[in-house]
Amino acid sequence: MIVIATTSDNRGSPPGLPEGLADYLATVRRALGPPRSLEEIRLIADRDAHLLAYPRPAGMAVFDTIVVAAGANVRLYRPTGDGTGPAILYWHGGGFTTGSIDSYDGLATALAEATAATVISVDYARLPETTPRAMLQQAYEILAWAHRQADLLGIDGTQLAIAGDSAGAFLAAHLAVLARDRGGPAIACQLLCYGVYDLDSGREGHAAAHDPVLPRPVIDAMIATYRACAARDDAPLPAPLGIADLSRLPPAILLGAALDPMLAEAGDYAQRLRAAGGTAVERVAPGMCHGFLRAVRFSAPARAEMGWLGRAFRDLLQPSRTAL
């Protein structure tokens, strides 16, 4: 049986959340209402995406297109400025089952603004309609497309980065490994935000979860769904912490959330990247819950954390031009 994870429950928010987070959570919960089917959750999230919209900066150009080879739609956010520059391919969160370029439009807009890079937001195939390995192959085809079409996209094909939040970080982490193993395209860096790096339901952080977005039942449902779908692959795709070789990967910027029950596994993943000879820059956003970057419309502290992510990205690509 496939169990679908939703992105919030009906419990109250913990006290002391940073400014604006309670308003964001209330907006999401009002839109979803009582428990829904997966079909309804996806529909409502896209129908009401405007409630989370983040204003686009003056001069930002946005357009949609399709990556035919991958069978996926993408949305490009090109910041103000002439000439080619770096690009970030972004995979949204949603527990592998929900999320879209519309429901994560605000996050992608804010990411493009903060990094001054072209952001390519990916509307990837989700579980349970596909399998984890098929998701990863699709991700690789989109990376190859962006590199191949860099001139038409107006981006620098030598400065391609990948990013993801939550389940999207899981995919981005795997994509970095797959691109290394296939000899490219080269990835300049990876931005991983409150990611899923383990699929162990026995983790202490899961048992003690008090995150308003990721209570224990939601985590268990996400893991159950993933495992059921991975069983359809010839070889199940492990969590990033289950990857044997993490050497020769692009530098990683990891932004975590203090309330996130998956925070400890993010720290474990960063430690393994460094042990393998890589670079991993970490920050934990104080008081924040899982998924907080979607709250940039509501919360000045969330916008400040997005600003940190942008500065960290620019410093990594052009260290002489900015400082953390």
DSSP annotation of 59 reads T
Residues 107 and 77: beta-carbon distance below 8 Å? no
> Residue 207, SS3?
helix
pTM of the model: 0.94
For the chain, which residues score pLDDT lower than 50?
A: 1-11, 320-324
CATH number of 21-317: 3.40.50.1820
Domain boundaries, the chain: 21-317
**If residue 265 lies in a helix (H) or strand (E), which one and from where to where?**
helix 263-275
- Ramachandran quadrant class, 197 (left: phi over 0; alpha: psi -120 to 50; beta: rest): alpha
What six digits make up the tokens of 139?
Answer: 């991700």
pLDDT reported for residue 14:
62
pLDDT reported for residue 205:
87
Helix axes 167-181, 132-148, angle to 10 degrees: 60
Residues designated catalytic: 166, 260, 290
Residues 6+ apart with CB under 8 A from 15: none
pLDDT reported for residue 207:
86
What six digits make up the tokens of 281?
Answer: 């820059």
Helix locations, the chain, DSSP H? 21-32, 38-47, 105-115, 132-148, 150-153, 167-181, 204-207, 216-230, 263-275, 300-317
What six digits make up the tokens of 95?
Answer: 């527990």
